[in-house]
Chains A and B, each alone.
Chain A
Amino acid sequence: MEQTKILKKKAVQIRKMVLEMIYRAKSGHTGGSLSCVEILVSLFYGVMRIDPKDPKLPDRDRFVMSKGHSVESYYAVLADLGFFPVSDLESYCQFGSYLTGHPTTKVPGVEVNTGALGHGLAIGVGMAIASKIDSACYKVYVLMGDGELDEGSVWEAAQIAAHYGLDNLIGIVDRNRLQISGDTEQVLRLENLEQKWTAFGWHVIHVDGHDIEQLINTFKGLPVERGKPHLIIAHTIKGKGVSFIENNKDWHHKVPNDEELRMAMMELDEKLKELDADE
């Protein structure tokens, strides 16, 4: 319980870092970065075997940020953990910075360059097969956007993962129900997602993607079914944590102005006070 309390606050702090990065860079993907914060916080602080002092630890768990545009929350988490200095986040998207607008392996802790959608799951399949070949213990986590599932390559990789019975592979869908043009069900109907993934041979679990305790418990309980890859459908809210950004497609890659940043920070600071008061 103590850990959950700390991580709840951590999630709010990460959100503040995300907004500051986007505001400073005048560039970024606000909505999708905010929707996956609890997923990242749960994995990186509560589940995965990683060492910020040794980013290449041989048997570390692997994380693939397939929805590479949510890079701000990813960088914020890695910096906060000590993979690189937090102060470097100020250079995000600035000329010559190693912190590019989609993840690259120049950043300590990042496993693979992503940004084009539909690539991460196949990469994760390769990593999971490598783990099996070596009889290693590491698991592979691939975070995808829900809009990303429009890409056919995702389903190719899904078939292959099931064919090889990769129960060390965990796909996570940030199911925030919005993509650039609007509602995922209106742009290109995704549902019934559970039935689709189940038919592809995956074990599917639904979670509240903002409930850290539930996320951690779910991840720690995997695999539920031996011989099957697992898909976590994490139900989230795009832009989570800032009321005027939540569930608004215009904030897919909108950058906050001075007033919007001030209001957002005020709301997040209020949230931090609330969490402190609960303790």
Chain B
Amino acid sequence: MNEKSKMASRHMVAQALMDLAGEDEAIVVVTSDARGSAAITKFFDTFPERAIEVGIAEQSAVGIAAGLALCGKKPFVLGPACFYSARAFEQVKNDVAYTGANVKIIGVSGGVSYGPLGSTHHALHDVAAFRAIPNIDVILPSDANQAYAVVKHLVNRERPAYVRIGRNPIPFVYDEPFFEIAKGYVLRSGADVTIIACGEVVWHALKACEILSKEGIEATLIDMPSIKPIDEETIIKSARNAGRVVTIEEHSVHGGLGEAVSAILGKNFPVPIEILGIPDEFPVTGKQEEVLSHYDLDAVGIAKRVQKFLRRFSHGR
């Protein structure tokens, strides 16, 4: 982990596509007037014949990608997560997932990355929406290195996927790019509580663990980039050890990582669970960091909420 250097995941996603497209001619990129926000201008310059601009038309971008995939291409659709998870939702459901077209949707500027632009530009429902569709993977990388590895992994995984990344530079959680589908990564171990996080709040969770440690609370922290399919084994094993679980996500508390974890533990090993996320309201105006802080999704807020949760469920410890 590297606190000083930061990078936006979208740049590494674009770099991965550049690196892979040279060798794999089936890779094509589709975008909806989002070359800048998806950081794929260089891809358009390098592989113009495999770069498809459709204008501000997310529904068509997904439909076109499905058509490309059905003719043997490996399309990556890149554009704002807020639009691909809402306006183009029916195309993702029918043309991609239901048909089984090998399309990868990269939702950029997800969560509250666009901060003060308001809820039209936030994607806080995307995990819930895509989790409810069969036959599509849902992945939230936690840093730029993992984002690179996700793209590399998905290129040869012949099925639909939705990947949500942010917009802003974030610290590195990992020194090297690696990712496997349906695998949770234990970033630190502790016996008092299990924290399971995904996406760009993993970094905040990591810092929260340091604060908690100073207070005498040792947490296990699991990065769970693959929300569907999810690593059930690691979740259950960790819950058995700690007996109390907190989930953290830059997403509505409804239908995201927290509820996915709850469903698994409710069935296999019921323990108290606290779901930290954006409550059921349209968020306050502010920069991403300010909004996260407001909802206790930064390091200080997470540490505070974990302590409160542990006091409620102390189990006589």
Partner of A122, one of B49, B59, B71, B72: B59
Q: CB distance A157 to B60 under 8 Å?
A: yes
The answer to whether A105 touches B64, judged by C-beta atoms less than 8 angstroms apart, is: no
- In the bound complex, how far is the Cα of B99 from the Cα of A205, in angstroms? 31
A130/B72 in contact, CB under 8 A = yes
B273 CB to closest chain A CB, in angstroms? 37
Question: Which chain A residues border B69 with CB–CB below 8 Å?
Answer: 126
Given contacts A112-B95, A119-B95, A122-B91, contact A130 B101 (CB under 8 A): no
Q: How far is the CA of A104 from the CA of B99 in the complex (A)?
A: 7
Among candidates B67, B71, B94, residue contacting A113 with C-beta atoms closer than 8 Å: B94
Q: How far is the CB of A65 from chain B (nearest CB, A)?
A: 12
Residue in contact with B57 in the complex, picked from A113, A116, A127, A156, CB distance below 8 Å? A156
Contact A160 B60 (CB under 8 A): yes
A62 within 8 A of B: yes
0/1 per residue, B63-104, Cβ < 8 Å to A?
A: 111111111110100000000000000110011001111000
Identify which of residues 122-173 in chain A touch chain B, using a CB-to-CB cut-off of 8 Å. Answer: 122-131, 133-134, 140, 153, 156-157, 159-160, 163
Q: Are A123 and B50 in contact (CB under 8 A)?
A: no
Residues of chain A within 8 A (CB-CB) of B90 are: 116, 119
For B35-50 the 0/1 string (1 means CB < 8 A from A) is: 0000000000000011
Answer yes or no: B16 CB below 8 A from chain A CBs. Answer: no
Main secondary structure of the interface of A (DSSP, over half): helix
- A111 at interface (Cβ–Cβ under 8 A)? yes
Give the distance in Å from the alpha carbon of A105 to the alpha carbon of B69 in the complex: 14
CB <8 Å contact, B52 and A123: no
**Contact A130 B95, beta carbon cutoff 8 Å:** no
Interface residues in B93-127 by Cβ distance below 8 A to A read 94-95, 98-101
Per-position 1/0 for B4-42, Cβ under 8 A of A: 000000000000000000000000100000000000000
Query: With a CB–CB cut-off of 8 A, which chain B residues contact A112?
Result: 66-67, 70, 95, 99, 101
B67 touches A129 (CB 8 A): yes
Assembled-state Cα–Cα distance A115/B99 (Å): 11
Cβ B70 vs Cβ A129 within 8 A: no
Interfacial chain B residues near A123, Cβ < 8 Å: 63-64, 66-67, 70, 95
Tell me, in angstroms, the Cα distance from A122 to B90 when the chains sit together. Answer: 13
CA distance A157 to B69 in the complex (A): 17
Q: Across the two chains, which residue of chain A brings its CB closest to B49?
A: A133
B55 at the interface (CB under 8 A from A): yes
* Residue B260 interfacial (CB < 8 Å): no
The interface residues of chain A lying within 8 Å CB-to-CB of B310 are none
Q: Is B217 an interface residue (CB 8 A)?
A: no
How far apart sit A123 and B52, CA to CA, in the bound complex (Å)? 14
Scoring A62, A126, A128, A153 by chain B CB atoms within 10 A of each residue's CB, the highest score goes to A126
A153 in contact with B59 given A119-B94, A123-B95, A126-B64 (CB within 8 Å): yes
Cα of A134 to Cα of B72 in the assembled complex, Å: 10
Asked if B186 is at the interface of the complex by the 8 Å CB criterion, the answer is no
Could you tell me the distance in whole angstroms from the C-beta of B232 to the nearest C-beta in chain A?
Answer: 29
Write the chain A residue with the least CB distance to B100: A105
CA distance A111 to B95 in the complex (A): 11
Interface size class of B (residues with CB under 8 A): 20 to 34
Cα-based distance from A26 to B301 in the complex (angstroms):
59
Q: Are A122 and B50 in contact (CB under 8 A)?
A: no
Chain A hits for B72, CB < 8 A: 58, 130, 134
Within 8 A of B (CB), among A65-115: 104-105, 111-115
- Give the chain A neighbours of B68 by CB distance below 8 A: 126-127, 129-130
Q: Please name all residues of chain B whose beta carbon is closer than 8 Å to the beta carbon of A157 when the two chains form the complex.
A: 57, 60, 63-64
CB closest residue in chain B, given A152? B59
Inter-subunit contact B70/A133 (CB<8 Å): no
Cβ contact within 8 Å between B73 and A130? yes
A149–chain B nearest beta-carbon distance, Å? 15
Interface status of B54 (Cβ within 8 A of chain A): yes
CA distance A140 to B62 in the complex (A): 18
CB nearest neighbor in B for A138: B71
Please give, as numbers and ranges, the residues of chain B lying within 8 Å of A129 by CB-CB distance.
Answer: 52, 64, 67-68
Q: Which residues of chain B are near A121, meaning CB under 8 Å?
A: 63
B59 is contacted by which of A58, A113, A124, A156 (Cβ under 8 Å)? A156
Interfacial chain B residues near A156, Cβ < 8 Å:
54-55, 57, 59-60
Chain B residues in 8 Å Cβ range of A124: 67
In the bound complex, what is the Cα–Cα distance between A119 and B90 (angstroms)? 9
Q: Are B63 and A130 in contact (CB under 8 A)?
A: no
A177 and B173 alpha carbons, distance in the complex (Å): 60
Which chain B residues border A140 with CB–CB below 8 Å?
A: 67
Query: CA–CA, A69 to B98, complex, Å?
Result: 16
* Contact assessment for A105 and B99 in the assembled complex, using a CB-CB cutoff below 8 Å: yes
The residues of B that contact A115 with a CB separation of less than 8 Å are 94
**For B91, what are the chain A residues with a Cβ–Cβ distance below 8 Å?**
119, 122
A129 to B72, CA, bound (A): 12
Would you list 16 pairs from A and B whose C-beta atoms are within 8 A, ordered by A residue? A105-B99, A105-B100, A112-B99, A113-B94, A114-B94, A116-B94, A125-B64, A126-B63, A130-B67, A133-B28, A140-B67, A153-B60, A156-B54, A156-B60, A157-B57, A159-B55
7 closest A-B pairs by beta carbon, nearest first, are A126-B67, A122-B63, A130-B71, A126-B64, A127-B67, A123-B67, A113-B99
